[in-house]
Amino acid sequence: MSGRRVLPPVAEAYRPAETIALPARGWRIAPRHALLAGGLCWLGFVVFAWLVLSGRSLSFDAAGLRFWRTGPDLHPRGPAWLLENVRDFTALGGVLLRNLVAIGAMVALLFMRLRREALLLAGTIIGGWIVDSLLKAAVGRPRPALVSHLAEAGGASFPSGHSFNSAVVYIAIGLGFAAMSPRPSVRRTIVASAVVVSLLVALSRVWLGVHFPSDVAAGWCGGAGWAFLASALLYPTAKTAAEENAAQLEAVTPGELGRPQPRSSHARSR
């Protein structure tokens, strides 16, 4: 009798696969749809910018800041744990965590050989940061002083950088990963989830008292608008760059995904 262990048919069927099937790229948002969504978002930005610059947003902003506060000293509503949760949400739009998420998403797309989507994501985020910085410098609105600030914040107030950049990053990530699914319902769920996360970041800035409601509304509209516009306008450049630099991108994402991996000498000796 041989000493080799024979697996039953059921166990044999559930052996770990030696290959990883890569997702097939089968979808991208139609350029006309992206341009339409981006245009509508930027129209919203223009409306809020006009309200701010003309002084017509003052009552709206004051009401929005007071909505989350109570008492004569305008302290935040709710228990202490709610404040911590709001700070956690706002951290998703902070420079450190937001960029870590973006870098992780780009690396994941590269390893899944979705190089075009990875480069498009990088270009969208860099371009969004430039656009947001220029808008902040152009308007130069001071931070609200009506309520106490419950988080550290510096720089100009309009538009909200957290709101703008979180909309750029999370919506662009959603559009990139939606390319992996052939099912419309899955794609809509991914993009809708990204929209919800970015909206929660925007709302947290008003709750913490570091931005006027018009700041976050304009910031989110501008960031979402840029994410959609970039998906249409930067796509040809990302496609060309991915094709021309395929060898270099392959070198920084080693491994033969989708092919059987040879066992190392260390593994064979065990």
DSSP string, the chain: --SSPPPPHHHHHTSPPSS-PPPPP-----HHHHHHHHHHHHHHHHHHHHHHHTTTTHHHHHHHHHHTEETTTTEESS-HHHHHHHHHHHHTTSHHHHHHHHHHHHHHHHHTT-HHHHHHHHHHHHHHHHHHHHHHHHH-PPPP-SS--SS---S--SS-HHHHHHHHHHHHHHHHHHTT-S-HHHHHHHHHHHHHHHHHHHHHHHHTTSS-HHHHHHHHHHHHHHHHHHHHHSHHHHHHHHHHTHHHHHHTS-S-TTSPPPPPHHHHH-
Tell me whether residue 266 is one of the annotated catalytic residues.
no
Catalytically annotated residue among 33, 75, 149, 211: 211
From 75, 149, 162, 266, active-site residue: 162
Known active-site residue 211: yes
Active site residues: 162, 211
